[in-house]
Amino acid sequence: MRKRENAKAPWRGSWKDEIKNHKRLFIVYMVLRLLVVAVAVASFISGNYQNVLLCVLSLVLFMLPTFVSKNFGIRLPETLEIIVLLFIFAAEILGEISAFYEKVPFWDSMLHTVTGFLAAAIGFALVDVLNRNTRFKFMLSPVYMAVVAFCFSMTVGTLWEFFEFFMDQVFNLDMQKDFVVSTVASVSLSPADSNEIVSVKDIVSTVVTDKAGNVYNFADYGINGYLDIGIIDTMKDLFVNFVGALAFSVIGFFYVKSRGKGEFAKQFIPTISEKEGDGAQGESADGTLEKDTEKTEV
């Protein structure tokens, strides 16, 4: 077995060594933690305990990459870890607490695009582990690896949309954000059993009356149209997830095609730390580990 040269195995030495070897990661980690703690203290003083819980959740999620690296022998590239930390901060602190989802256009779309990109990288890494493992007598071609990574990312994105729908329906939340539309086309507005599409265009206001007789004029809330109940948000999220997944799948394809010479892709692909006797000393996507074994290419 020939080990990788100049590879830093994370979280095997002391904390001082890790700080010395990963200065950028340590700085980002500490700055984000201090910001989250400051927001938590401010939220606690103002009595907003829901935001305090979000801050605690963010601090726990910040420790997840370190936990995975230390306990599962998975090497996370420094760039990937930094992006994960920034993503958590952008989603929980800026998105939820600071309401960037409402204040900043395309904030949600940006995060879903990043999710699609990173999920494809993780899916790519999972396939690479199988390719390297000597217990599995097959090796996926670059095209199949890209396809599997893409499908993995889209599956993750779809499951997240299922989760949002479940939370909205069960707990009456608004994770699937509503969009204001000015045109509605539906067979539900047609005469009985006609199945004709009736279009209502140029909608400027919607009035809703509940069972108790309360009347809500959407125009009074600045909503000059009809509220779409989440379907546009869901499809938009899946589309940008598709863009992110496709982008990394293409990058991953050329990464494998060039036998791992692409430096850009390496910054996002987790790898398994080499351990003797773990059965994972087969050839990796970058071709740096080799062991004689018969494999069938797919």
pLDDT digits (tens, 9 = 90+) for 212-262: 999 999 999 999 999 888 999 999 999 999 999 999 999 999 988 887 677
Distance CA 178, CA 180 (A): 7
What integer pLDDT is reported at residue 69 of this predicted model? Answer: 83
Burial environment of residue 48 by CB neighbours within 10 A (0 to 12, 13 to 18, 19 or more): middle
Strands 296-297 and 138-139: parallel
Distance CA 41, CA 185 (A): 48
Alpha helices in 77-141 (DSSP H): 78-88, 100-103, 107-132
Distance CA 83, CA 208 (A): 43
Angle formed at CA 101 by CA 98 and CA 103, multiple of 5 degrees: 70
SS3 content of the chain, % helix, strand, coil (to 5): 60, 10, 35
Record the tokens describing residue 35, joined without a space. 């910001």
Distance CA 245, CA 114 (A): 9
How far the first Cα of the chain sits from its last, in Å, is 24
> pTM score > 0.75 for this model?
yes
Q: Give residues with Cβ within 8 angstroms of 265, minimum separation 6.
A: 121, 248, 251, 252, 254, 255
Distance CA 63, CA 289 (A): 30
- Per-residue pLDDT 10s for the chain (298 aa) are 444 444 444 444 556 766 777 889 999 999 999 999 999 999 999 999 999 999 999 999 999 998 888 887 788 899 999 999 999 999 999 999 999 998 999 999 999 999 999 999 999 988 877 776 667 656 778 899 999 999 999 999 999 999 999 999 999 988 898 889 999 999 988 888 788 999 999 999 999 999 999 999 999 999 999 988 899 999 999 999 999 999 999 999 998 888 767 788 888 888 876 553 344 444 444 443 333 334 445 5
Distance CA 13, CA 223 (A): 57
Contact 74, 273 (CB under 8 A): yes
Indicate left, alpha or beta for 213 from its phi (over 0: left) and psi (-120 to 50: alpha).
left
Distance CA 249, CA 154 (A): 11
DSSP string computed for 20-70:
HH-HHHHHHHHHHHHHHHHHHHHHHHHT-HHHHHHHHHHHHHHTHHHHHHH
